[in-house]
Amino acid sequence: MARSVFYYHLKRLNVKDKYAGGKEMIKSIFHEHKGRYGYRRITAEMRNRGFAINHKIVQRLMKQLDLKCQIRKVRYRCSVVNYR
């Protein structure tokens, strides 16, 4: 391994997480709404709370945190008015 690569990786270990506060807020919003909010609604909620963040970053952080929203089941709707 090249010396420069070794020291590059050594320096990267001491870097603080840039989105630590954002991750905590994403987790709290996600669990607050019982896992029903996806990245779009979480982004909107964070902006309502005064936290300016891009939707792509929220999507990436949710993937890192392994947070996946529940998908609602589509119910069948009969098109006939007096079916029964």
pLDDT digits (tens, 9 = 90+) for 28-38: 999 999 999 99
Residue found by looking up tokens 């420069």 in the block: 4
Q: Summarize the confidence of residues 56-82 as an average pLDDT.
A: 88
Cβ neighbors of 37 (< 8 A, separation 6 or more) are 29, 30, 45, 69
Q: Are 44 and 76 spatial neighbours (Cβ–Cβ below 8 Å)?
A: no
Whether residue 42 has pLDDT greater than 90: yes
As given in the structure block, the two tokens for residue 27 are 């987790």
Q: How high is the pLDDT of residue 43?
A: 97
Domain range annotation of the chain: 19-71
Q: How high is the pLDDT of residue 28?
A: 96
Distance between CA atoms of residues 25 and 61, nearest Å: 11
pLDDT digits (tens, 9 = 90+) for 13-33: 888 889 999 999 999 999 999
Q: What is the pTM of this model?
A: 0.74
Whether residue 84 has pLDDT greater than 70: no
